[in-house]
Amino acid sequence: ETGVTQTPRHLVMGMTNKKSLKCEQHLGHNAMYWYKQSAKKPLELMFVYNFKEQTENNSVPSRFSPECPNSSHLFLHLHTLQPEDSALYLCASSQAVNYGYTFGSGTRLTVV
């Protein structure tokens, strides 16, 4: 398998639920990212990991908790989300930080 794979593709969760998004890249890249894309808005950078170390937390609420166990896997743990958190969550990777992004297909999250 190649590229960047995200699961699940779609997720509906209640505000009291806990869920996790998974991202896996098979490109040998060293940097991974979480982005949020809301309708009609630019992609918002959430987190950056470089060589498994978090180098950026873009003022993201604590109800979003990232985890990067190795340079190929990235998780986004979700708990007590709000309806305004409904969006497309995109994972991306690159060989070096912010160079040549490859995006996953995204997880379309709906919070009810």
- Nearest CA-CA partner of 66 in 45, 44, 48: 48
Q: What's the sign of the alpha-carbon dihedral 10, 24, 21, 48?
A: negative
Closest separation between CB of residue 85 and another protein, Å? Answer: 18
Give the angle subtended at the CA of 16 by the CAs of 11 and 20, to the nearest 5°: 40
98 binds another protein (CB under 8 A): yes
Footprint on residues 32-51 left by another protein (CB under 8 A): 40-43, 45, 48
Which residue lies nearer to another protein by CB, 41 or 70?
A: 41
Which residue lies nearer to another protein by CB, 42 or 69?
A: 42
Cβ contact 2:27 at 8 Å = yes
Q: State the residues that interact with another protein by CB under 8 A.
A: 40-43, 45, 48, 56, 90, 97-98, 100-101, 103-106, 108
